[in-house]
Structure 1
Amino acid sequence: MDEDLLRRLVPEVLTVLVRRGAAFGEAEDAVQEGLLDALRSWPQDPPRDPKAWLVTVSWRRLVDATRAEGARRRREVRREAEPVPGPTSGTDDTLRLYFLCAHPALTPSSAVALTLRAVGGLTTRQIAQAYLVPEATVAQRISRAQRTVARAGLGESGDVATVLRVLYLVFNEGYSGDVDLAAEAIRLTRQLAAVVAHPEVAGLLALQLLHHARRPARTDAAGALVPLARQDRGRWDTTLVAEGVAVLQEALARDRLGPFQAQAAIAALHADARRPEETDWVQIVEWYDELRRLDDSPVVRLNRAVAVGETDGGAAGLAALVGLEDSLPRFHAVAAHLHEKCGDTATAAHLYAEAARRATNAQERDHLVRQAARLNSARD
């Protein structure tokens, strides 16, 4: 049973139904029902034309749902006669669907859930497991998103920047349950890169690949978080690194720099260092300066402060933190690291403990608790 094929077909089949007049939410539900039928029947009786089969079965599900509701509308989608599936423009269909799922009226969580289901082909249960939230919560998000898209119609949708933010949100969630969201985000970004020539799409793909390459070294055998400086770089996936660098170089050659390309350039510099002490922090600071010109956000400034601390010392890094709110995620952890570089272990230990108290991720919290304990024990 080729589940990857099924998931690749989802956006194509969904847009066939929508283009023929189906309401987005109803069409999306029908395709999900068609997927379940495929999972049940294909192992014993695989179709000769999987896409045509899925279009036909999804159409039947749509008609059945219409009958059950007693709806008798005159739009083409409500006709009981089944149209013969013809050739479709997979490129245009897929791109349109990405943009619809990134509708500007959607909340980030709803846009992510709708993208994973409509474009990624995941079930509501899989999305709920991946985000560790109740299935009913995800169902409500998807339902609200469907209604929003249905009201807006096909004439209004998000732009490339919005689509990329949604995919970046998916990637940053990592993985849990039976769905690897980081790998899923890379798959979807590859798919988007194949249908739209945009340097920031390539920049996001490069960034994902370079970060994903370090994943095997991010935790130890006990599952504890391993910071970048202490990771076993021999465990990094060199194939993904090479691909990420190649994708980035091609994007940078277009001379249309964007935030994702700048972030990918920073990740590439980390990947290029065979040992932590070989990291080119000076060039990383320069890239953060470029990034600030594109996106002078508090998060960018916080990360730049870390790089400044590595280049010019802890005091310079702390100076770079001036003006940032201490409510910013990771602020206390960064401040602790910089105070430790200055030799102020008492303040650093206090800040690590405070960072642990504020952490929302159990793995990160445990790491910060250990950092505080390490400094406290060294002072005893």
Structure 2
Amino acid sequence: MAGVLQRLLTRSGLLPVLRSQWRADQSAAAEKLETRLDKRVAELKAQVDRVADLADRLKGLEAIADSVERITNVDREVRMLRATLAGDIADRHKGPHRPGVFDADRVAPHVARAIASAPLQTDPSVHIVINDLMPPDTYAALLEGIPPRIFFSQRDNAKQNIRLSQLDVAPEWTLQTLAFLENVLIPKMMVPALLKTLEPHIREFYIREYGAGLGPALAAIPHEATSGRLMLRRPGYHLDPHLDPKRVVFTTLLYFARPGDSEAFGTSFYRMSGTPNIDRTTTFYPETQGITCDLVKMVPFKPNSAVAFLNWGGAHGADIPKSAPAETERYSYQFYVSPDPAALARHVGETESAVAE
């Protein structure tokens, strides 16, 4: 049938015409397709060029960002140097500090009496609140040594810390203050007195955690202050109820309240609806495991006071709401007391981290 149709079209002269028209249609279609392809290629090339241009601009922005960061760091260093110079000059104008404010022989008996006389409390967990921790002039001298905010870490406006080892430059009195705090007051005065006061409960803690066989041996090994830091907390700071890592036996907070500071932003203690049955190698937040935490009390933020609490039985937290006055600043010093890592490792192997914020 196809052959008959072809012969008829040929005899009638239509076949050549149809072939010519078909070729023309094919050519037109190809030209249209080519035009569309050229247009798409041009559009794609334009997009590639824009991406390349953006990449070049991004490199420029990264360089600008690096420059801004460097300028910010230099600006902070200059401000710290100016604050150091101003602080040292002001300190010289005040004249010498009262002799003996950091005299260990004078301060140590006062600290020991304050800790020994602090009533032991057990709800929601074992803790003591220590008032008049040190002689008034020693406390006043420590307050004077707290540096301006520029010396604190700047990553979080609501939560900033300082460690003596991190300071390359600071007013001389700040360096003396932190050195006395970290090298004398805490390790040589507070830790021994706290260990003596809390000894029965520390022993109970180790027996509960490690059993009657190993527990007493662990309670007898040397313990030391760890992870100490001077802390500045401001409106917007919030710390959910938590327990510190298991290696922390007890935690201590020294409050550096200044005249006029509100007592409302102290440390909150919570009763837990259950006992965590986990290996706490890091900070543990009971509420993430379905354990309810009910507020029992808040230890007020008072001058020349401290609170020490064992790291089990109850949770603790803190809060300075955003609605607090904008000028609110809460200064405190926190440290943990933990077993000597080498001694602990000899008994139980690898030790846990004792780092928490």
Q: Which structure has the larger Rg over C-alpha atoms?
A: 2
Q: Do both proteins adopt the same fold according to a TM-score greater than 0.5, normalized to the shorter chain?
A: no
Pick the structure with more strand per residue: 2
Pick the structure with more helix per residue: 1
Q: Which structure carries more relative contact order (alpha carbon 8 Å, separation 6+)?
A: 2
Normalised TM-score (structure 2): 0.22
